[in-house]
Amino acid sequence: MRRKLVAGNWKMHGLRAQLPEIEAIAAAAAANPSVDAALCVPYTLIHPAAQVAGVLPIGAQDLHEADKGAHTGCISAPMLVEEGATLTIVGHSERRGDQHETSHDAYMKSSAAHRHGLTVILCVGETQVERDAGRAERVVQAQIEKSLPDDAHGDWLTLAYEPRWAIGTGRTPTMEEIAAMHAIARAKLHQMIGDPALDVRILYGGSVTGANAGEILAVENVDGALVGGASLTADKFVPIIQAAKALSA
Ligand code: PGA
């Protein structure tokens, strides 16, 4: 039985003035123990957020694959752990797009995170052009194939399917399209790691809100949501946690 996970991604948003939002989100997480919640914040907020987050896991949004070295501006898994992070997003489409990260980068980064005890949310997803060309399935399968770390296990790895054209746009795929892609992702995982694939959570991400979360989270093989814009305030994020709770025993 896979517990639902609702993870927020604050991207490049948030100063210490927003810590009360994190406290409010943490209170909601504590009040809804049948759902797993988490919040991935900018590096500068990891430590202060972890101080106020209680049971709410605080994570990063990226990391460098090396533990240390001459990599100006980068941050490593041991540094994140020291600040209080317990998870990290890897391979987000904004990293793949803006920073030209490849699936191999995501593989290396996921492996580094796991080496240091961070849990990982590994993102995959096609562009609009790829979907229009009928290549969405193959693109996602190839991303999983190349970025899935060795010894992947549901204890520490979560996959997130995020169609790039749905991120921050207010557009979402149909429920049938989500179901189809999540089934494909599950099958790909199973082909790669066998039955442990049944324990790996697969989140949907891209324009999830309190208004559509109930419908999306009820789709087969959707084990939670990765939420950007609607995770920035408790009043928008908590309804998504509650929608997950309504579907959890
Ligand atoms: P969004 O972002 O919810 O703002 O579409 C999702 C994400 O990028 O993880």
Residue with CA nearest ligand 1 atom 2: 228
CA 166 to centroid of ligand 1, rounded, Å: 8
**Atom number, ligand 1, closest to the C-alpha of residue 93:** 8
Nearest to 11, CA basis, from 65, 67, 59: 59
Q: Is 168 in the pocket of ligand 1 (CB under 6 A)?
A: yes
pLDDT in the model for residue 72 = 98
CA 14 to centroid of ligand 1, rounded, Å: 15
Q: Is 48 in the pocket of ligand 1 (CB under 6 A)?
A: no
Q: Is 91 in the pocket of ligand 1 (CB under 6 A)?
A: no
Mean pLDDT per 10-residue segment, the chain (249 residues)? 96 98 98 97 98 97 98 98 98 96 98 98 97 97 98 97 96 97 98 97 98 98 98 98 94
CA 156 to centroid of ligand 1, rounded, Å: 22
pLDDT in the model for residue 123 = 98
Mean pLDDT, rounded, of the chain:
97
Q: Is 14 in the pocket of ligand 1 (CB under 6 A)?
A: no
Sorted by sequence, the CB contacts under 8 Å of residue 38 that are 6+ apart come out as 5, 6, 7, 8, 56, 57, 58, 59, 87
Sign of CA dihedral 24, 22, 221, 179: positive
22 φ/ψ angles, rounded to the nearest 5 degrees: -65, -40
pLDDT in the model for residue 1 = 82
**Atom number, ligand 1, closest to the C-alpha of residue 227:** 3
Q: Is 205 in the pocket of ligand 1 (CB under 6 A)?
A: yes
Nearest to 111, CA basis, from 66, 75, 145: 66
Annotated active-site residue 162? The verdict is yes
Q: Is 208 in the pocket of ligand 1 (CB under 6 A)?
A: yes
CA 167 to centroid of ligand 1, rounded, Å: 5
132 φ/ψ angles, rounded to the nearest 5 degrees: -60, -30
**Atom number, ligand 1, closest to the C-alpha of residue 207:** 5
Over the chain, what HEC string results? Answer: CCCCEEEEECCCCCCHHHHHHHHHHHHHHHHCCCCEEEEECCHHHHHHHHHHCCCCCEEECCCCCCCCCCCCCCCCHHHHHHHCCCEEEECCHHHHHHCCCCHHHHHHHHHHHHHCCCEEEEEECCCHHHHHCCCHHHHHHHHHHHHCCCCCCCCCEEEEECCHHHCCCCCCCCHHHHHHHHHHHHHHHHHHHCHHHHHCEEEEECCCCCCCHHHHHCCCCCCEEEECHHHCCHHHHHHHHHHHHHCCC
Q: What are the pLDDT digits (tens) for 23-71?
A: 999 999 999 999 999 999 999 999 999 999 999 999 999 999 999 999 9
Question: Helices 175-193 and 136-147: crossing angle, nearest 10°?
Answer: 40
Annotated active-site residue 92? The verdict is yes
Report the alpha-carbon distance of residue 65 to residue 242 in Å, rounded.
35
CA 70 to centroid of ligand 1, rounded, Å: 31
